[in-house]
Amino acid sequence: MKQRVEIVKRILDSNEQLAQQNRKKLDDHGVFAINVMASPGAGKTTFILQTIARLPKDIHLGVMEGDTAPVTIDSDKIVAAGMPAVQINTGGDCHLDANMVGLALDEFDLDEINLLLIENVGNLICPASFVLGNHANILIASVPEGDDKPYKYPNIYRNIDVLIINKVDLLPYIDFRMDYFRQGVEMLNPNLKTFEVSAKTGEGFDGWIKWLQEKVGNIQE
Amino acid sequence: MKQRVEIVKRILDSNEQLAQQNRKKLDDHGVFAINVMASPGAGKTTFILQTIARLPKDIHLGVMEGDTAPVTIDSDKIVAAGMPAVQINTGGDCHLDANMVGLALDEFDLDEINLLLIENVGNLICPASFVLGNHANILIASVPEGDDKPYKYPNIYRNIDVLIINKVDLLPYIDFRMDYFRQGVEMLNPNLKTFEVSAKTGEGFDGWIKWLQEKVGNIQE
């Protein structure tokens, strides 16, 4: 077992180095990059599409789409919305890593964008262990997943900068105790920035877009 | 890289052997075991609780609860419903393996049960690669996750014996094309047994309970 642990550590060390290279490249080009994590079906792509629909003129977006299978359902939607998108097929792996993101970065003209959204593989466990070089981690939780998720997947909640609570339009039809949910989050990540939204209707997006503008503005100063 | 691949293969081989031991133990005691997989929040525990509420007298159930964190939220619910439950904490791992299940099997009196439900970690990727020794694999998909999941997570859909489509009570409030979803499933796993249910309301459970009775009956003959 010792050998296995050491090999895993070496993989993580090497990932860390590649992540630092990615960060330098992003910084050199003034691109603010966000790692978007969520469980399958929490609404990552719909959230990105609603963000695109409300994108201020001073934000120029690129999107990376991580998938475990060679399907382009999500990246096709981003391209149809008029934004440059690169699909990353992990070949069955349960997360993106810094090497995959580095290769995908080469596919963008980084002088043409100032915001990069990296849609990670739908998973609440593996992505939390692999840094990519991005500036902020966001998690999209969705109301139908239930109010106990912070208690059951604590690692990912500890390592995020923003929490999006999506599908609030479904609150009337679901037993979801927002207080209990928020209490679990507060315990793991005090004072975490959160936005309650519906990516379907656009409700609650003003605060999120304002947060994005501040971050993109700061990195370009 | 070659070394890494060989080590992974050795881990899987060893898992396969332990899974065979688990299967033999289950068969020796006439226990039908089901590996229950799903993404986080698809309703695995609620599904098991609704199954308990409708359990015929000839079925004697035990439940294993796989979690990535040391929380007993789910296993507490099972025990409160009057059934023996053992919690498995994977320590951050994204799936159960045959060793964990073997250790948990020792905690049950296998002569007292004839059905074992093994609730895997909430994840659509990792659990598909690790056999546990169970007799059937079921996947619980839920309507709010969206109708594109078979296309995006094909591996898990290929390796299941039963598909539960849960939360059908939310269909009126969600854009979910059942035809498109079922077409994706059919492509990956033709003639797969499926049940459309609401674990919340109990809708659609008769067929599932009947299927369970047949399987438990067969293994005890």
Q: What is the per-residue DSSP string for chain B?
A: -HHHHHHHHHHHHHHHHHHHHHHHHHHHTT-EEEEEEE-TTS-HHHHHHHHHHT--TT--EEEEEEESSS--HHHHHHHHTT--EEEEE-TT-SS--HHHHHHHHTTS-TTS-SEEEEE--S-SSGGGG---S-SEEEEEEEGGG-TTHHHHSHHHHHT-SEEEEE-GGGGGGS---HHHHHHHHHHHSTT-EEEE--TTT-TTHHHHHHHHHHHHHHHH-
A67-98: per-residue pLDDT in tens? 998 888 999 999 999 999 999 999 889 999 99
Q: What's the gap in Å between the CA of B220 and the closest CA on chain A?
A: 36
pTM summary value: 0.90
* Rounded mean pLDDT, A12-24: 92
Is A145 a residue whose pLDDT tops 60? yes
How many CB atoms are closer than 10 A to CB B135? 17
Nearest to A39 among B39, B68, B74 (CB): B39
**Residue A112 DSSP SS3:** coil
pLDDT at position A23 is 97
- What is the crossing angle of helices A2-28 and B2-28, to 10°? 130
A97-143: per-residue pLDDT in tens? 999 999 999 999 999 999 999 999 999 999 988 999 999 999 999 99
Give the span between the Cα atoms of A80 and A76, in whole angstroms: 6
The low-confidence residues of chain B, meaning pLDDT below 70, are 1-8
pLDDT at position A7 is 66
Dihedral, B33, B39, B42, B46 alpha carbons, nearest 10 = 40
Q: What's the gap in Å between the CA of B200 and the closest CA on chain A?
A: 10
CATH class in words for B2-220: alpha beta
pLDDT at position B10 is 72
A121 CB neighbours in chain B (<8 A) are 125
Which one-letter DSSP state was computed for residue A144?
G
Is B152's CB within 8 Å of A73's CB? yes
pLDDT at position A92 is 87
Give the span between the Cα atoms of B156 and B133, in whole angstroms: 17
A41 CB neighbours in chain B (<8 A) are 39, 142, 144-146, 149
Number of residues that this document lists for chain A: 221
B93 CB neighbours in chain A (<8 A) are 125
Query: Both tokens of residue A92?
Result: 């069955």
Is A69's CB within 8 Å of B40's CB? no
Give the span between the Cα atoms of A121 and A117, in whole angstroms: 13
Chain B interface includes A173 (CB < 8 A)? yes
Q: Do the beta carbons of residue A125 and residue A156 sit within 8 Å?
A: yes
Q: Burial, A112: exposed, middle or buried (Cβ in 10 Å; 0-12, 13-18, 19+)? A: exposed
Where are chain B's structural domains? 2-220
A182-220: per-residue pLDDT in tens? 999 999 999 999 999 999 999 999 999 999 999 999 987
pLDDT at position B1 is 41
- CATH superfamily placement of domain A2-142+205-220: P-loop containing nucleotide triphosphate hydrolases (3.40.50.300)
Nearest to B151 among A71, A142, A174 (CB): A71
ipTM over 0.95: no
- Nearest 5°: the CA angle A155, A116, B125 is 45
Strands B162-166 and B136-142: parallel
How many CB atoms are closer than 10 A to CB B190? 7
Label residue A12 by pLDDT band (50, 70, 90): confident
Give the span between the Cα atoms of A170 and A191, in whole angstroms: 25
Label residue A8 by pLDDT band (50, 70, 90): low
Q: What's the gap in Å between the CA of A186 and the closest CA on chain B?
A: 17
Chain A interface includes B152 (CB < 8 A)? yes
**Per-position b or e across B51-65, b if 16+ CB within 10 A of its CB:** bbeebeeebbbbbbb
Q: Which of residues 132-151 of B touch A (CB under 8 A)?
A: 142, 144-146, 148-149, 151
